[in-house]
Amino acid sequence: MNEDLFVKICGITSEADALLCVSFGADAVGFIFAPSARQIPAQIASDIAKRLPPEILTVGVFRDEAPQRVVQTVQRAGLGAAQLHGHESAQETAWVRARLPLVIKAFPAGDRTIARFAEFGADYLLIDGDTPGSGEVFDWRLAEGVADPSRLIVSGGLHPGNVAQAVTHLRPAGVDVSSGVESSPGRKDPRKVRDFIVNARTAETEVEARDALSDEPTEDEPYDWRDS
């Protein structure tokens, strides 16, 4: 992932939706292999992934799956990452990460296990609501200070109307959405996808602008030639 805000659209079920998300500027698409209204076979995910630009991160989403099965599925489907969205232990997560190039480990907001995130060996920490995929927003204060923001991905109830607030409040490395940009389960709404990505990127730009402004010396501060 690059240093810009990472936008992942999850619950992809068709090539058309995957290409739609990419065309609007998504950095990643997620395929759900766990029981869900958006669950698809690994072979379909593989077929879709082959049609996407190589710079797009393709993510297989699993919940309480055997680590060996996770690795096999991701590798056979030709995906770039695994997202573990269940009660996977630190040992199981680290085992998967040792065999795959990138792993996202998800936790419910407020989970005390988040304090041990470093033990899991995952690249990114995703914080979601208590019921993943429900579209429920969690109290963002529960995600404050729980991890290095450069490794934090926020999910759970995000949609075009609130993603800017999430980016401004938490300044995460990325945002992840599924139901918040759908017209029906498993079908993405073009306008919602576009607005979600635009609003997220705009918020990121505004945050960066404010940060840059706050770093400038005020009239009360002495000039330091080393800043030039």
Catalytic positions are 10, 128
Q: 3-class SS at 87? A: coil
Q: How far is CA 222 from CA 170, 210, 214, 218, in A?
A: 32, 21, 16, 8
Q: How far is CA 31 from CA 8, 45, 118, 201, in A?
A: 11, 6, 25, 23
Classify residue 149 by its DSSP letter: G
Q: How far apart are CA 34 and CA 20, in angstroms?
A: 23
Name residue 128's beta-bridge partners: 108
Q: How far is CA 180 from CA 110, 115, 159, 190, in A?
A: 22, 28, 4, 12
Q: Which of these, 48, 24, 4, lies nearest to 186 by C-alpha position?
A: 48
b/e 123-145 (16+ beta carbons within 10 angstroms → b): bbbbbbbeebbebebbebeebee
